Amino acid sequence: MTTNKFRLSRRAVIRGAGTIAIGLPWLECMEDDVKAQAAPATAQRFVGVYQPGGTVIDKWRPTGSESAPVYGTILAPLEPVKDKLIVVDGLEMKSAIGEQHQSGMVAFLTGAVQAVAQKYSASRPGADSASLDQIIASKISKNVKPMASLQVAVRWATGKSHGLLSPINALNFEDTTANAPMPPRLEPSEIWTALFGRLSPMTATMDEALLRKKSILDFVDKRYTALATRMGASDRAKLEDHLDKIREIENGLTETGMPVIAACKPPTLIDTSDYNAKSGLNSADDGSLKDTQTDQAIPKVGTLMMDMLVMALACERTAVATLQWSDSEAKHTFPWLNLSEHHHYYQHDGGFNAPACEKIAIWYSQMHLHLLQSMAAVDMGGHTLLDESVVLFGSEISDPPTHKKQNMPFLVAGNGGGLRTGRWLKYSGGSHSNLLVSILNLFGDSRSKFGNTQYCDGPLTSPSLT
Amino acid sequence: MERKAVVGGRWARTPFALLGVLASCLAGCSTTIVRDAPSGDPGGSAGATSPSATGGSSGALGGSANGAGGSSSVNGGASAGQSTGGNSASSGGTGSSGGTGATGGSGTTAPPQSQCADQSAVMPGRAPLRRLTKVEYNNTVRDLLGDTTQPAYALPTELSGNGFGNDADQQPVPEVLAEGYESLAADIASRMTASPTLLGALDACASNPTSASESSCARTIIQKFVPKAYRRPLATGEADDYAALYQSVRANDTFASAIAAVIEAVLQSPEFLYRVEFGVADAANPSLKRPTGYEMATRLSYFFWKTMPDAELTAAAERGDLGTSSGVRAQAERLVADAKTRDTVRFFFEGLLPLTGVTDEARDPLQYPSFSSAIGALMLTETRTYLDYEVFDGPGTWSGILTEPYTFVNQTLATYYGIPGVTGDSFQKVPVDTTQRLGLLTQGAIMTGTTVTNFTNPVRRGAFILNQLMCRNLQVPIGLMVTPPDPYSAATARERYSLHSKNSACAGCHQQLDPMGFPFENYDAVGLYRTTENGETIDASGAVPDMDDGEVSGPLELIQKLAQNDEVQACFASKWLDFGYGQTLNGGSPDDVCTREALAAKFREGGFNVKNLLVELTQTDGFLYLGAQE
């Protein structure tokens, strides 16, 4: 591996060596924990995927046996990656307490209780309010990679969220601040620039621009530091949190060029001008109409989002990413499936329409196949990106007409942390928090509870994920 | 949030004490009713604030409301978290009627004697650090730099928080936001320094500076621009710091780029992005703090206009006019009369009412052939125009808004409603058929906006009135599966939803919700008037819960009752407090409760005039004084 004016900060190297075994040969050489070699290598990357509106369980559930599942119509598109997949069947999202859809959004990655509709519970006793992805990011990505984590969403903030971040649509919660939901990135071209905009070799002009930017951020940093000391504890915490984020930007600037990584092949930024990423947002001010043009572009944009996400990992921009397909309102249409009403309409707004919901779920499986195959196609030096990753796929409910949270349709893919794939794991009603803590364990975090502890019995054991 | 002891229990009986009657819902229904976010239990209402009152204590809740007359426990009762008890609905009913009588919850009974009436104690409430919202950022860079591109819409979305997106306690900073501020600042700064003309707009010296004049010109710009952006005079050394930044960038870069760097830094600084308040000791009572004149100018300006102070406000601050309630009032009266306040009022109503979704609603074209999202957009314009006229050009009262016998339509919308004699695209004031409609709530936008499917849902409409207009904050029951009834199970909504009154577990809440929703059954899923559904005559009778003589035969009577209801009036003022102060006022805080009560009283004295209410919002302890640093 060669570098082009690449400089990895000393802090990053220390953190990298101390916490993870990065799949790059020169860092593996630095790994000095002999015991770590004996146990299965910890997982290197985490990807979370959210699909709204649950599934049609009898079309989703496999038949056959644990080691030889036969997929039904909804999972059938995933047949080509079956050996890289675990179908996690029968868990209940017990912590999803609150509004029907919203509580599922809150609980999916946090295992925490919402309690009050439209709001987040002011205090969630016993809960770590952070989401799984952010806890993993703190562990393996923050201050190691230029970006702590990447959150992207397709056709997001539809319907009644009024363009505001709310339990209707938020999936990720900060690890460092309590009850702080995070908005995803929405605009494909902006995401491309943030991820791959500085991959080309540095020029003198770019160096100067970076230097200028550093002076400004350094100045701003001092303003926050100075003002924070004059505030009371709670306001000081707000400013310090803001400062922390400014420092993340500064941290990204210390890198004055990108390493040349063989696996890193940024996707072509296709024309997405027909897609309005902000459709539905800021609707308080302009009132937005049904946006069929943007809906029509969802498959194209979604594919680009997945391609960017995969390359963000392969290019070492970050180690943690989540992709959100819409939100729990799911108020967009599917013109390419000849479904002219929105997803929520088929779930129950217009009465449960099982064939339409099945059709939509099948399409999401096709999209997920693309993600997993793309990850499996990236050679990370003797193994694939999928081999070292854990990819969790889930929804906020299981059954569209009743909003039930039993028999949640979860999928886990990849072999990170020694996952044993190619299986169909049947549970009879255990808490999905057990799945979350099991995944956390794959990343070398040994805690036995996660989220609201009363809804977590500990890692999945019979059968276990590994 | 409770920082001081209750002052003589004087906050116990307020119009909001009415909320104690909600225990009636708790008793009969497995549900959650949360009034604000109770963080303390100042009334000492043991048990009632328990997050999980069970079984027999449900009855106790009803009893608590029942005894609300002189007991300070009533607020605590209202703030009860979750009841899992299955006590009978009848015990709730008892609590309900008892609460009503004791607290005077009807429109005809005089409000109870206030216990917050002691004018000598100042109760300022909280003053958490506030970040500019996207709308505020847009307006501020418009007034600061002439940038009219509304750049902040590119920032990530805000948390809904108090329902208006400006809750100071719910403004986390994700990295993508910090990045957004960074790129906005760079973008704005480079646009504003892109030509000698634009540089000259910052100060004439900058349009054609020489190497000899550059650095003094930069200093001039800093001293002119930064105080405006900070909304206060600069402290010692602040101008020097910016001059040093200018110099360090100028060493490698052009003059324009170095000036841009100053602007870029200012736009990311906490003094610009946050509304920082340190306050000064009150001249009359040095143990209290007031916002400084500049901080008060900022409060006033962001409250009325959602932007930075104008020159006149800054001048008033400089003169020291804003350290008294009369000085603040004089400015408030000037600000409320300005057109910029209209945008703020519109913004408020769009947070309060189910309006923004109305242009998104999809309906079955076979069932509703005349409706389309374009009609939805016209309905939105109708309601916006009506509210704007009513508040600023018409009688201007909240009760009037609820009951006026006219609306605003253009030809297309008039045809849709069946109003004759309207031509053209512009919206005009027309009388409505007062046997069918009255005021805001019967307008198409509200009736369509409270319906999410092809079928009306009386529960949703009832919940909208109870939560948004009466501040009852009923929540969907936790752990209870809520499925709307099969739309084909019966001809009318009342029959379809009849299970609620048959099942005692549901009845506790639905005896409030459903009678409030059924009268609106005269308006279909697209806001058109009807008297039958599937060939059956609609029974549109209902009731305002906990109101003496609250029974109504149909929507028009319901509207009239609501317009006379104390709870509705007090709630309107309370929503303005949340929105105007950028917080969620806390029913558990004596300061907040008394501020609410004082404002509700002023609202009543002012004949429920909305503009007057806005001015009175600047006359509370919460606005005029500064709470302890947080």
Strands B280-281 and B274-275: unpaired
**How confident is the model over A238-293, as pLDDT tens digits?**
999 999 999 988 877 765 455 678 888 999 999 998 898 877 654 333 333 457 78
DSSP code per residue over B340-353: HHHHHHHHHHHHHS
Range of the domain at A424: 43-189+264-455
- Please give the average per-residue pLDDT across A427-446, as a whole number: 96
Total of domains in chain B: 2
Arithmetic mean of pLDDT over chain A: 84
Contacts of A172 (CB under 8 A, 6+ apart): A109, A131, A133, A134, A149, A151, A181, A182, A184, A322
Q: State the ipTM, two decimals.
A: 0.81
> Quick check: is A366 in a domain?
yes
> Per the CB < 8 Å rule, is A289 touching B278?
no
Chain B partners of A331 at a C-beta cutoff of 8 Å? 360
Chain B hits for A148, CB-CB cut-off 8 Å, are: 175
Buried b (16+ CB within 10 A) or exposed e, B250-265: beebebbbbbbbbbbb
Q: Same domain, yes or no, for A292 and A408?
A: yes
Whether B630 shows a pLDDT value over 90: the answer reads: no
pLDDT at B454: 82
Predicted confidence at residue A91, as pLDDT, reads 97
pLDDT for the residue B120:
75
Same-domain pairing of A92 and A213: no
pLDDT at A324: 97
Our CA-based measurement puts residue A212 at a distance from the nearest CA of chain B, in whole angstroms, of 6
On whether both B544 and B409 belong to a single domain, the answer is yes
Q: Which residue has the tokens 């609250």?
A: B550
Length of chain B: 630
Which residue(s) pair with A384 in the sheet? A379
Give the residue, B501 or B333, on which the prediction is more confident.
B333
Predicted pLDDT at B285? 87
Q: Is residue A15 part of a domain?
A: no
Express as a percent the part of chain A with pLDDT over 90: 59
Task: With a cut of 70, say whether residue B68 has pLDDT above it.
Answer: no
Chain mean position to CA A233: 32
pLDDT score recorded for residue A257: 52
| Contact with chain A for residue B271, Cβ under 8 A | yes
Dump pLDDT digits (tens) for B458-494: 988 999 999 999 998 887 665 555 666 777 788 888 8
Question: What's the confidence (pLDDT) of residue B88?
Answer: 31
A92-104, pLDDT tens digit by residue?
999 998 788 888 9
pLDDT-derived band at A1, boundaries 50, 70, 90:
very low
Report if residue A3 sits inside a domain. no
- Separation in Å, CA of A105 to nearest CA in chain B: 15
- Asked whether residue B240 falls in the same domain as residue B382, the answer is no
Is any Cβ of chain A less than 8 angstroms from the Cβ of B237? Answer: no
Question: CA B511, CA B466: separation in Å to the nearest integer?
Answer: 12
A240 and A273 assigned to the same domain: no
Judged against a pLDDT cut of 60, whether residue A366 lies above it is answered with yes
Structure tokens at B434: 């007062």
Query: In the prediction, which pLDDT does A229 show?
Result: 96
Residue B330 has pLDDT above 90, yes or no: yes
Least reliable range by pLDDT among A202-216, A346-360, B23-37: B23-37
pLDDT digits (tens, 9 = 90+) for A17-56: 333 333 333 333 333 444 444 567 899 999 999 999 999 9
Which tens digits make up the pLDDT trace of B339-376?
999 999 999 999 999 887 777 677 788 889 999 888 99
Q: What are phi and psi of B214, to 5 degrees?
A: -50, -50
* Residues linked to residue A154 through DSSP beta bridges, in sequence order: A325
From the candidates B153, B159, B353, which should be mutated to test the interface with A, based on the most A CB atoms within 10 A? B159
How far from the centroid of its chain's Cα atoms is residue A51's Cα?
11
For residue B114, name the pLDDT band (cuts at 50, 70, 90): low
Share of chain A above pLDDT 70, in %: 83
Specify the pLDDT at position A19: 37
CA-angle at A183, arms to A181 and A189, nearest 5°? 160
Domain boundary among A220, A237, A256: A256
B67 falls in which pLDDT band (50, 70, 90)?
A: very low
Does the residue A26 lie in any domain?
Answer: no
Under 8 Å between Cβ of A431 and A106: no
Identify the burial level of B227 via C-beta atoms within 10 angstroms of its C-beta, where 0-12 means exposed, 13-18 middle and 19 or more buried.
Answer: middle
Distance CA A220, CA B268 (A): 7
pLDDT tens figures, A292-315: 788 899 999 999 999 999 999 999
- Domain boundary among the residues B259, B275, B291 is at B275
Confidence grade of residue A3 (pLDDT, cut at 50, 70, 90)? very low
Which ranges constitute the DSSP H helices of B339-491?
340-352, 373-388, 398-403, 411-417, 444-449, 458-464
**Which residue among B34, B82, B253 sits closest to A212, beta carbon to beta carbon?**
B253
Domain final position from A236, A256, A276? A256
Residues A342 and A388 both lie in one domain = yes
- A245 and A281 in a single domain? The answer is no
- pLDDT tens for B282-305 read 988 888 999 999 999 999 999 999
B150-190, pLDDT tens digit by residue? 999 888 888 888 888 899 988 989 889 999 999 999 999 99
Instruction: Report the pLDDT value the prediction gives residue A301, as an integer from 0 to 100.
Output: 96
A314 closest CA partner among A188, A195, A138, A136: A195
- CA-CA-CA-CA torsion sign (A261, A267, A268, A269): negative
In chain B, % of residues over pLDDT 90: 61
Same domain, B389 and B254: no
**Are A122 and B39 a contacting pair at CB < 8 A?**
yes
In a domain, B420, yes or no: yes
B182 touches A at CB < 8 Å? yes
Residue A123 pLDDT exceeds 50: no
B184 touches chain A (CB under 8 A): no
- Is B119 near chain A, with CB under 8 Å? no
Contact between chains at A194 and B482 (C-beta distance less than 8 A): no
- Is pLDDT at B576 greater than 50 in this prediction? yes
**Strands of the A389-394 sheet, one edge to the other:** A150-154, A320-325, A45-50, A389-394, A410-413, A85-89, A423-426
Least confident of A272-281, A332-341, B239-248, B615-624: A272-281
Closest CA to A368 of A310, A433, A314: A310
Chain B residue with the nearest C-alpha to that of A329:
B452
Is residue B101 a part of any domain in this protein?
Answer: no
**A24 inside domain:** no
Share of chain B above pLDDT 70, in %: 79
Averaged pLDDT, B534-556: 93
Which residues between 17 and 36 in chain B have a beta carbon less than 8 angstroms from any beta carbon of chain A?
Answer: 32, 34
d(CA B31, CA B33): 7
- Chain B residues in contact with A349 by the CB 8 A cut-off are 452-453
* Number of domains, chain A: 2
For residue B311, the distance in angstroms to the closest alpha carbon of chain A comes to: 26
Query: What stretch of H or E contains B130?
Result: strand B130-131
Residue B570 lies inside a defined structural domain of this protein: no
Residue B132 and residue B275 in contact, taking contact as beta carbons nearer than 8 Å: yes
Instruction: Please indicate, yes or no, if residue A27 is contained in any of the structural domains.
Output: no
Per-residue pLDDT, A2: 37
Contacts of A247 in chain B (CB under 8 A): none
A155 and A206 fall within a common domain:
no
Identify all chain B residues contacting A283, using CB atoms and an 8 Å cutoff: 356-357, 359-360
Q: What is the C-alpha to C-alpha distance for residues B94 and A465, in angstroms, rounded to an integer?
A: 54
**Alpha-carbon A94 to chain mean position:** 21
Per residue in A164-196, pLDDT tens? 788 889 999 998 877 788 999 999 998 998 888
- Could you count the other beta carbons within 10 Å of the beta carbon of residue A12? 17
Residue B406 and residue B488 share a domain: yes
Same domain, A69 and A185: yes
pLDDT in the model for residue B322: 97
Distance CA A416, CA A320 (A): 13
Same domain, yes or no: B354 and B497 = yes
pLDDT at A227 over 50: yes
Q: What's the rounded Cα separation, in Å, for the pair A138 and A134? A: 6
The whole-number pLDDT of residue B498 equals: 79
Residues A200-225: what's their mean pLDDT?
Answer: 85
Answer whether B33's CB lies under 8 Å from B51's CB.
no
| Residue B308 domain flag | no
Residue B22 pLDDT: 36
Same domain as A299, residue A239: no
Residue A463: cis peptide before it, omega within 30 degrees of 0: yes
Tokens of B390: 């009513």
| Domain of B256, in residue numbers | 130-275
Q: Is residue B7 part of a domain?
A: no
A326 and A268 assigned to the same domain? yes
Out of B257, B452, B630, name the one closest to residue A232 (CB). B630
Lowest-confidence pick of A67-76, A334-343, B52-61, B243-252: B52-61
User: Which are the contacts of A17, defined by CB distance < 8 A and separation ≥ 6?
Assistant: A27, A30, A31, A32
How far is residue A92 from each of residues A86, A104, A173, measured CA to CA in Å? 17, 11, 21
Tell which of B530, B563, B596 closes a domain: B563
In the structure, what pLDDT confidence band is assigned to residue B313 with cuts at 50, 70 and 90? Answer: very high
Domain check: are A112 and A183 in the same one? yes
- At residue B619, the pLDDT reads 96
For residues A354 and B628, the model is more confident at A354
Contact state of A289 with B360 under an 8 Å Cβ cutoff: yes
Residue of B nearest to A234 (CA): B630
Judged by average pLDDT, the poorest of A270-284, A309-323, B430-444, B503-517 is: A270-284
> Is position A335 within any domain?
yes
- pLDDT, average across residues B216-232: 97
B178 in reach of chain A (CB within 8 A): yes
pLDDT of residue B622: 93
Q: What is the CATH number of the domain that holds A428?
A: 3.40.720.10
DSSP states along A67-109: SSEE--TTTGGGGGGGGGEEEEES-B-TT--SSTTHHHHHHHH
- The whole-number pLDDT of residue B78 equals 32
Query: Does A401 reside within a domain?
Result: yes
User: Are B269 and B385 in a shared domain?
Assistant: no
Most confident by average pLDDT, A284-298, B55-69, B262-276, B583-597: B262-276
pLDDT (0 to 100) of residue A18: 34
What is the pLDDT of chain B when averaged over all its residues?
A: 81
Q: Among residues B252, B275, B298, which one ends one of the domains?
A: B275
Which of A335-339, A366-370, A447-451 holds the top average pLDDT? A366-370
Residues A97 and A223 in one domain: no
Burial-class residue B8 by CB neighbours within 10 Å (0-12, 13-18, 19+). Answer: exposed
Q: Are residues B259 and B358 in the same domain?
A: no
**Same domain as A213, residue A303:** no
CA proximity to B34, closest of B469, B450, B467, B459 = B467
